[in-house]
Amino acid sequence: MKSYRKELWFETTQRRQFVNITSHVEACLRESGINEGLVLVNAMHITASVFINDDEGGLHHDMEVWLEKLAPEKPYSQYQHNGYEDNGDAHLKRQIMGREVVVAITKGKLDFGPWEQIFYGEFDGMRKKRVLVKIIGE
């Protein structure tokens, strides 16, 4: 059994942004040389997320609107967490969207269903944050 680990760093241009990181994960998979196994991809920051969905602009807009309804950014005073940083909403959005994904590796490829892509979801951005890629297998 082989193991591979790499940190990917992202700095978004907006406070909230979805970034398709599928090609980054595929590059890690090629670098690892693993053909059969599992890849774990997880956000290493409590106000960011990694998730799988379709890479379609309308859907991304709908997710942003939905998340903002569930955990609106403002008024900041609605969150007890706020004080040091005004990011209470970002913590809740991360909780909703999830911390990580696990994808099967088959014949050296990510074993996706139709339209599936891996995304980094940033909810308190414009600063460097990292994503862990951990691959195990043979």
- Helix (H) or strand (E) holding 132, with range, is strand 129-137
Residue closest to 48 by CA, chosen among 105, 127, 125: 125
**If you average pLDDT over residues 118-134, what whole number do you get?**
98
When divided into structural domains, the chain yields a total of 1
Q: What CATH number has the domain bearing residue 114?
A: 2.60.120.460
Tell me the percentage of the chain whose pLDDT exceeds 70.
100
Inside any domain, residue 47:
yes
Structural domain includes residue 128 = yes
With contact defined as beta carbons under 8 Å apart, do 76 and 82 qualify? yes
The structure's pTM equals: 0.96
> Given a cut of 90, is residue 128 above it in pLDDT?
yes
Whether 43 maps to a domain, the answer reads: yes
Domain assignment present for 18 = yes
Contact predicate 10/122, CB 8 Å:
yes
pLDDT at residue 84 in the model: 78
User: Could you tell me which of 32, 11, 2 has the C-alpha nearest to residue 129?
Assistant: 11
Report yes or no on 75 lying in a domain. Answer: no
- List pLDDT tens digits, range 14-41: 999 999 999 999 999 999 999 999 999 9
Instruction: Classify residue 37: in a domain, yes or no.
Output: yes
98 domain residue, yes or no: yes
Report if residue 77 sits inside a domain.
Answer: no
| Nearest in space to 8 (alpha carbons), one of 128, 138, 137, 136 | 128
Which of these, 55, 73, 115, 124, lies nearest to 94 by C-alpha position? 124
Domain that holds residue 30: 2-55+94-137
